[in-house]
Structure 1
Amino acid sequence: MPLTQQKQLFNISEDLTYLNTASFSPAFKSVEAAGIEGMKQKSNPELRQASDLFEPVVALRKLFAQLINEDDYNRVVTLPSVSYGMANVANNIELKDDDEIIIIEEQFPSNYYIWEDLAKRYNAKIVTISQPETIEDWNASLLEQINPKTALVAIGHIHWANGYTFDLKAIRAKTKQNNALFVIDGSQSIGALPFSIKDIQPDALICAGYKWLFGPYGCAYGYYGSYFDNGKPIEQNWANRLGSENLAGLTAYQSQYKPKANRYAMGESGSFIYVKMQTAALKEILKIKPSELQEYCHNISHKVLKELSDLGFTSTHPDFRAKHLFGVKIPEFVNVDDLKAALKANNIHLSFRGEYMRVSCHIFNTEAHFEKLVNVVKSVIKA
């Protein structure tokens, strides 16, 4: 059966039109309940066991591994942020003079500043692939730029402002041909857009957990491939060392890390409140097939996007962008401040990114929300 709207799973008021999951997701009721349960457990610390710091984290990592189609959960860690995960990547890359790092125009800052710093450290070069006049050619422009001097390609699965989808398979093939690393920011796609580690085989995938994975703010996930198996983490915490589950023996200091990606886990990764909420969230997300979510989001939005296009508010053709997140280009004749004020007055929440009005939707949204959006746009134009 096709996916249907499931607003009943959330505590969202009837008068709210929330089209901003790409910024912050609302909480499933089950996630809210898990957080409350975790807070209550804080009041009874005597009931906690040492294993509570480890076993729930392993269970959580297994859920994320399942989500990205990775068989080995030891390649997955929980993180506090995308910038933290990217810092672990950069900490284990050495470059040569004039090596090139490829990124995309107007990339999210957490996937830019770290590479700017790395390039400066090694006198390497940042190569930014600008959005071409015909956006459909963006993949071709990127692929053309990958060459023997390319050391790293670090991009999002989709562009965070307009939803343009990059051809990860083709990029992975070209980076392998040129012995370059491939690092993906999956913050705006994992859980909402079909993705498989087995198909893409990136060197690293870092993903925020508070957007399309519906976790609390301050959580993220990381996948680290074999290139990073013997790397150096950016912090030295007790829990990522071998045998750390034996709390009585912690001062028998251990030089070895736990295997594979475990070394990149943050300190206090066993935060029982966050882990409970994240676990509840991933269980909900795993019930939803990304391909079906894409179809659902397209079905509730495509008619209104055609109307908006007729009004001068254009978006990329659905064949070249995600359906859960897309940018609607604001025409020059529209006063953006007036548009923002009208949206606020009508309790419509979305984001403005550059020249785009960024719209993002999920199973709590309906076609009526998009109809309300287009009616507000019409009122601004008319005024």
Structure 2
Amino acid sequence: MLTCKRSAFTLPPRITYLNCGYMSPQLKDAEKVGIRNLRRKRNPASIKPEDFFNDTELLRQEFAKLIHAPDPKRIVTVPSVSYGMANVARNLKIGRGDNMIVAAEQFPSNYYPWHRLCEETGAQLKSIAPPEAFTGRGQKWNERILDAIDINTKAVALGHVHWVDGTLFDLAAIRRRTREVGAVLIVDGTQSVGALPFDMQAFEPDALVCAGYKWLLGPYSTGLAYYGEYFDHGKPIEESWLNRAHSEQFSQLTNYQSTYQEGALRYEVGEHSNFVLVPMLLKSIQQLNRWGVSNIQEYCGHISREPILTLREKGFLIEDEAHRAKHLFGIRLGQHDPEKIKTQLLKNNVYVSYRGNAIRVAPNVYNTEKDLKKFATLISR
């Protein structure tokens, strides 16, 4: 099992940071890479044409390794989840009489594109809510989603986990059902990829989009997206010179090309060569691959197991382990006063998030069991 990796980060010693679902701290090594590459533009003569492509290619390979994707060329850099989803929305075949399914209260970047698309096309957007009763909530929520998929469903858009409380969505079962009706599966992996194992060959989503600044431990304003065969002949949302065929040949750029780069590469953001952010994200994902995502998930489960038992004994509601992630989980307060809890945590420099009606706790490898026990003791008072 992994040991605590706090020394790899520069977190202030007096804070207890249980909030990676909000934003990860920066790895020391990634910070060094960013500073070095920021200084590189002092002398632009040192930046060669091949440098526009080299780090991006390495980033594709490392991310492919992380998600078990056989073809790195299906992975592109994006500045945000909303950008990656906009490419999907532009090329999704849906119309009047069709429907699209999302989970209730999922993150806005994985809701607004579909809301607008359905308004414009006359399709129905179906938001599937969890049961009100807490017992068996995660399992029943998945069952509701599966039951909602019918012959008129053209797409299902979900996270691997729900961003508020870590409820796991059974992507393998949902993929099987979408295959039966010919629907597209779109996954926002922002709150899972990097801490929860994601197997592209097992889930086979048509699109996977991830922001880089949370569980991928990268900088803000960069992320990654995977686009499957469904999108191979689509139109990107912007016309970047880098996304056209033969863009590697700088001396021939005025020989305008009518064709895009093959397959998914057409969807890459303009200026995707970002000489600061791309090397930083690359360094972070290399570190995640060395640690191993399954080891990170196991570590988070190990340090939170006893504190969660304590909280349940005090009357707090937490989803059963079989139906939630270990790196991100929601705590519903029952009869406890949320404002008193928030005050108590801030007073003691404990950082979590408050999402919906849950306290969202999101530990990572820089945390220890002691951190979680401190949190549990404070909110139990």
TM-score (norm 2): 0.97
What are the equivalent positions in structure 2 for 1:98-177 lying under 5 Å apart? 98-132=97-131, 133=133, 134-135=136-137, 136-177=139-180
Q: CA deviation at 1:312?
A: 1.9
CA offsets 1:89-115 (integer angstroms, 9 cap, x no match)? 000013121211100011100000000
In the alignment, structure 1 residue 294 sits paired with structure 2 residue 293: no
- State the shift of 1:281 in Å: 0.5
3-state DSSP class of the match of 1:272? Answer: coil
Aligned to 1:212: 215
Superposed counterparts of 1:218-229, under 5 Å: 218-229=221-232
Q: SS state of the match for residue 261, structure 1?
A: helix
After superposition, residues 6-85 of structure 1 pair within 5 angstroms as 6-85=5-84
The CA deviation string for residues 194-252 of structure 1, in whole angstroms up to 9 with x for no partner, is 11111111111111111100110101111000010000000001001111111121111
Residue 346 (structure 2) aligns with = 344
| Partner Cα distance (2:51, 2:308) in 1 | 48
| Equivalent position to 1:202, from 205, 213, 219 | 205
Counterpart secondary structure, 2:291? coil
Give unpaired runs (5+ residues) of structure 1.
none
Count of equivalent residues:
377
Name which of 187, 190, 195 aligns with 2:190: 187
Q: Is the 8 A contact 2:17 2:351 kept in 1?
A: yes
**AA matched with 2:19:** N
Percent identity of the aligned residues? 42
1:249 aligns with 2:260: no
2:372 is aligned with what amino acid? F
The answer to whether the 8 Å contact 2:93/2:154 transfers is: no
Cα distance in structure 1, aligned partners of 2:44 and 2:341:
50
- Secondary structure at the counterpart of residue 161 of structure 2: coil
- The secondary structure found in structure 2 opposite 1:85 is helix
Name the aligned partner's letter for residue 316 of structure 2.
F
* 1:72 maps to amino acid: D
* Residue identity opposite 1:336 in structure 2: P
Q: Secondary structure at the match of 2:290?
A: coil
Alpha-carbon separation, structure 1, partners of 2:286 and 2:214: 15
Q: Secondary structure at the match of 1:40?
A: helix
Q: Distance in 2 between matches of 1:150 and 1:291?
A: 33
Q: Which amino acid aligns with 1:123?
A: G
Comparing 203-212 with 305-314, greater Cα deviation is found at 305-314
Residue 285 of structure 1 and its aligned partner are, at CA, apart by 0.7
Unaligned runs of 5+ in 2: none
Rounded Cα–Cα distance in structure 1 between residues aligned with 2:343 and 2:37: 39
Q: Which is worse superposed, 294-303 or 321-330?
A: 294-303
Structure 1 residue runs of 4+, over 4 Å off?
Answer: none
SS of corresponding position for 1:91: helix
Deviations 1:166-188 (A, max 9, x none): 11111001001001111111111
- For 2:293 and 2:46, locate their aligned partners in 1 and report how far apart those are by CA, in whole Å: 38
1:61-105: per-residue Cα shift (whole Å, max 9, x none)?
A: 111111111121110000000000000000001312121110001
Query: Matched residues in 1 for 2:59 and 2:305: separation?
Result: 35
Single out whichever of 108-117 and 60-69 deviates more from structure 2: 60-69
Q: Deviations over 1:329-383 (max 9, x none)?
A: 122x33322221221111111100111000001110001101111221133xxxx
> Residue 266 of structure 2 aligns to a residue in which SS?
helix
RMSD, aligned α-carbons: 1.0
| Higher deviation after alignment, 334-343 or 265-274 | 334-343
> 2:92 aligns to what?
93
Deviation at 1:290, TM superposition (A): 2.1
Of 338-347 and 359-368, deviating more is 338-347
Contact 2:78–2:224 (8 Å) recurs in 1: yes
1:258 to 261, 265, 274: 261
